[in-house]
Amino acid sequence: MGYRIVVAGATGNVGREMLNILAEREFPIAEIAVLASSRSSGTQVEFGDTGKMLKIQNIETFDWAGWDMALFAIGSEATEKFAPIAAKAGCVVIDNSSLYRMDPDVPLIVPEVNPDAIDDYKKRNIIANPNCSTAQMVVALKPLHDAATIKRVVVSTYQSVSGAGKQGMDELFEQSRNIFVGDSAEAVKFTKQIAFNVIPHIDKFLDDGSTKEEWKMVVETKKILDPKVKVTATCVRVPVFVGHSESINIEFENELSAKQAQDILREAPGIMLVDKREDGGYVTPVECVGDSATYISRVRDDATVDNAINLWCVSDNLRKGAALNAVQIAELLGRRHLQKG
Ligand code: 2RA
C-alpha cells in the first residue's frame, strides 16, 4: 500500500530533488505522476538513481481526481492556476511557491518546528513550504527558543545561485568561464555580475527599502515559530552553486550561554553541530550539498548585549530549503491524516 503522488515541476531544480528524496527516503508510493508544461511532456526523468524512468505528463490536461497529494515546484503564477484545481479534486497540494505562505487558511510547515499546525490543512487542502532561507533558520532557532525565549534575531544570508533556479546556476557557470577566457560577463538573471562578486539583492524591492526575500524571513519566521520574535534580515546572493549560509545573531529573554546553546543544538532534530574552534572546524556550503541536515557552527557568546549568541548556519537549499521539507510535510500528512494500509 502507498500513496498516489504527483510531482508538478519535475524537470526543475527542486522537482528533480523531490524525486531524489522520495526515492531515497522510500516514501510509500502506489503510483507516481510527474508533470511539467507542455514543452516537456513526453520527455523522461529518472526516479532518484533507481534507473526507473518516468514520463512527463502535461500539467494543463492532467486529471487530478484520485491522487492523494501533489508536491508543487512550479512557481507562483502556475501554482495560482493549478493548485485550486488539484485541491478541489481532493488532492492535497504541498506548495513550494510563495503564493499561499501567508494565507491564514494555509498552514506553513517545518516539521521539526510546528508539526501541529498541519491539522488545519483541510481549510483549503493546501499546505505551504517556507522559503529556503527561512526553513533552515527556524530549524536552528526552535530548540533555542524553547530553552530561553528568543526576543530578536539579526540575520545576514549568503544564498547560492541555485535558489534562483537552473538559469541562475548557468549564469554563474558561464560568467566564470567567460571571465577566465577574457570575455565579458553579461548579467541576465541577476542584476549585476555574480561570478567573483556578491549581490545584496534577492527578489523585488519593497517600499521600506528592504527586499521581498528579507520580508519573507521576517513574516514566515513569525508564522512558523512565534509572532513575538522580532527578525531583521539582509539577504545576499553569493557565487556558490548550492547551499545557503546564514550568520545569525540571537538575543534571548532569558540567560543562555554559547556552551548551553551548543548542548541544546547537538541534540536537536534536523541539526548537525560541527563546532570545533580550530582551523576547518566548521561547515561550508560545498560540504553540505546533497545532505539533509541543517549544519550549525561557530556558536559563540555576543559580549555586546545581555543573553545573546552568534552562530553560523548552513544547509542545502534545494533539500531542507525546498524538496526535503516538502517530502517531510508529505510524510507528516500521511502519518497524521492520510494513513494508508
Ligand atoms: C532564493 N529564496 O534563494 C529563493 C529561493 N526560494 O532566491
pLDDT 10s digits, 203-225: 999 999 999 999 999 999 999 99
pLDDT score recorded for residue 1: 82
> Which pTM does this prediction carry?
0.96
pLDDT score recorded for residue 341: 62
Same domain for 219 and 193? yes
pLDDT score recorded for residue 56: 98
CA nearest to 7, candidates 88, 94, 87, 80: 94
Regions of the chain with pLDDT less than 50: none
Same domain for 22 and 81? yes
Distance 259 CA to ligand 1 centre (A): 32
159 CA: nearest ligand 1 atom: 3
Same domain for 221 and 198? yes
pLDDT score recorded for residue 305: 97
**What is the interface pTM, i.e. ipTM, of the complex?**
0.96
Is 145 in the active site?
no
Is 235 in the active site?
no
Same domain for 91 and 160? no
pLDDT score recorded for residue 47: 97
Is position 341 within any domain?
no
Same domain for 95 and 169? no
Question: What residue numbers bound the domain in which 216 lies?
Answer: 133-317
By alpha-carbon position, which residue is closest to atom 1 of ligand 1? 163
Same domain for 165 and 89? no
Is position 249 within any domain?
yes
Same domain for 165 and 223? yes
321 CA: nearest ligand 1 atom: 6
132 Cβ closer than 6 Å to some ligand 1 atom? yes
Is position 116 within any domain?
yes
Same domain for 203 and 78? no
User: Residue 332 in contact with residue 25, Cβ under 8 Å?
Assistant: no
User: Residue 274 in contact with residue 296, Cβ under 8 Å?
Assistant: yes
159 Cβ closer than 6 Å to some ligand 1 atom? yes
